[in-house]
């Protein structure tokens, strides 16, 4: 029983250690249930559920939606051989019913201090950590075996998930952010960058914007920062794609141009997160720069801008949380 409790504490600790660096808030009410208000929600043995579980609720202000997003989160910590479609289907089914009730529950709003006068939405997040670090398969393969169409997803409900590889990558990025702060490359305060899009416009203050849950799994995560004592203002971009071809980087450079970042004159530091990125990463990026400049008719001004972009890979860090250590208390 003690080991089970220790394993259960890993995911909450890991989620807090990671997600605070992406500027997510966390409600202090944890590991609590709220009342089920739908008699069609059935639990074990086909009996109506009395309550729904609540591990933790994360929250942030979505810069495009202009509303607070509450992520009611189910935290799982599994051994590698326990991450299978059966367990995931059960977790998703429970989360579907939980979010269906949470979206219209006075009990839920009261428990998690939701101001009904504010614009907000409630979503579900399944957070699956692999505590023995033995899961080396693409998580989507397990997800693909889950019949998502058969899940009891209520209309308008949004569910997100972070698998072991996502969590490992975000853990490495969080550690890299800490290191850059310590080296004076990044100030203590920063913001995640959201350009105005064709169909969406950013809302609110440009500073202290969090990384949305969609951003965490996007090809690149962009941080905008002010100047430090040793570094000028600019952007740090965590590049989550494979970084395996010049064509891939050409598209990336074109995206920076569309985001009006190349013309800003500010520093751009590119941080590649894939631990399997090729050894000749910088050569591939240089080839992309040359091809992109050629496409622009050998524009010397643009060539000078591109030449200033720095590219490096981050150190991949494996979490050291384990069931034995979690028995200790501070």
Distance CA 117, CA 168 (A): 37
pLDDT recorded at residue 112: 94
Output phi, psi for 76, to 5 deg.
-120, 140
Output phi, psi for 26, to 5 deg.
-140, 130
* Cβ-proximal residues to 281 (8 Å cutoff; 6+ apart), any chain: 243, 272, 311, 313
pLDDT recorded at residue 184: 92
Kindly report, residue by residue over 90-142, the tens digit of the pLDDT: 999 999 999 999 999 998 999 999 998 999 999 999 999 888 888 888 898 88
Q: Which residue has the higher pLDDT, 75 or 198?
A: 75
222 band by pLDDT with thresholds 50, 70 and 90: very high
pLDDT recorded at residue 324: 54
Report the greatest alpha carbon distance in the chain.
71
Listed by start position, the domains of the chain span 2-163, 169-313
Q: DSSP letter string over 140-208?
A: HHHHHTS-GGGS-PPTT--EEEE-HHHHHHHHHHHHHHHHHHHTTSS-S--EE-----SS----S-SSS
Kindly report, residue by residue over 1-21, the tens digit of the pLDDT: 344 445 567 768 778 889 999
Average pLDDT, the chain: 88
321 band by pLDDT with thresholds 50, 70 and 90: low
- Read off the pTM: 0.91
Q: What share of the chain is helix, strand, coil (3-state, %, to 5)?
A: 40, 20, 40
Kindly report, residue by residue over 226-278, the tens digit of the pLDDT: 999 989 999 999 999 999 999 999 999 999 998 889 888 899 999 999 999 99
Contact status, residue 204 vs residue 61, Cβ threshold 8 Å = yes
Find the radius of gyration of the CA atoms of the chain.
22
pLDDT recorded at residue 8: 63
When pLDDT is averaged across residues 65-72 and rounded to a whole number, the result is: 95
Q: What is the dihedral of CA 97, 13, 146, 141, to 10 degrees?
A: 160
pLDDT recorded at residue 1: 36
Kindly report, residue by residue over 137-185, the tens digit of the pLDDT: 889 888 989 988 888 898 989 999 999 999 999 999 999 999 999 999 9
pLDDT recorded at residue 327: 46
């Amino acid at each position: 029983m003690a080991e089970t409790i220790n394993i259960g504490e890993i995911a909450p600790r890991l989620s807090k250690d990671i997600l605070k660096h992406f500027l997510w808030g966390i409600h202090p009410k944890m590991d609590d249930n709220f009342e089920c208000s739908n008699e069609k929600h059935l639990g074990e043995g086909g009996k109506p559920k009395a309550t729904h579980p609540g591990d933790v609720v994360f929250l942030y202000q979505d810069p495009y939606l202009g509303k607070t997003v509450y992520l009611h989160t189910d935290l799982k910590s599994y051994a590698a051989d326990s991450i299978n479609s059966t367990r995931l289907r059960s977790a998703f089914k429970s989360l579907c019913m939980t979010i269906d009730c949470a979206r219209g529950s006075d009990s839920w709003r009261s428990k998690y201090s939701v101001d009904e006068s504010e614009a907000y939405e409630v979503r579900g997040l399944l957070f699956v950590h692999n505590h023995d670090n033995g899961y080396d398969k693409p998580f989507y393969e397990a997800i693909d075996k889950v019949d998502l169409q058969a899940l009891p997803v209520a209309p308008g409900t949004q569910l997100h998930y972070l698998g072991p590889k996502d969590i490992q990558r975000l853990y490495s990025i969080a550690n890299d952010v800490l290191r850059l702060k310590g080296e004076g490359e990044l100030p203590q305060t920063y913001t995640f960058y959201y350009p105005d899009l064709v169909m969406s416009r950013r809302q609110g203050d440009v500073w202290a914007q969090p990384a949305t849950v969609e951003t965490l799994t996007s090809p690149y995560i962009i941080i905008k920062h002010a100047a430090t004592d040793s570094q000028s203002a600019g952007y740090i971009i965590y590049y989550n794609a494979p970084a395996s071809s010049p064509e891939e980087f050409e598209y990336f450079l074109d995206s920076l141009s569309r985001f009006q970042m190349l013309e800003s004159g500010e520093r751009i530091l590119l941080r590649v997160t894939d631990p399997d990125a090729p050894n000749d990463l910088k050569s591939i990026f240089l080839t992309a720069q040359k091809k992109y400049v050629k496409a622009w008719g050998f524009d010397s001004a643009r060539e000078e801008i591109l030449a200033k972009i720095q590219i490096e890979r981050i150190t991949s860090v494996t979490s050291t949380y384990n069931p034995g250590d979690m028995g200790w208390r501070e």
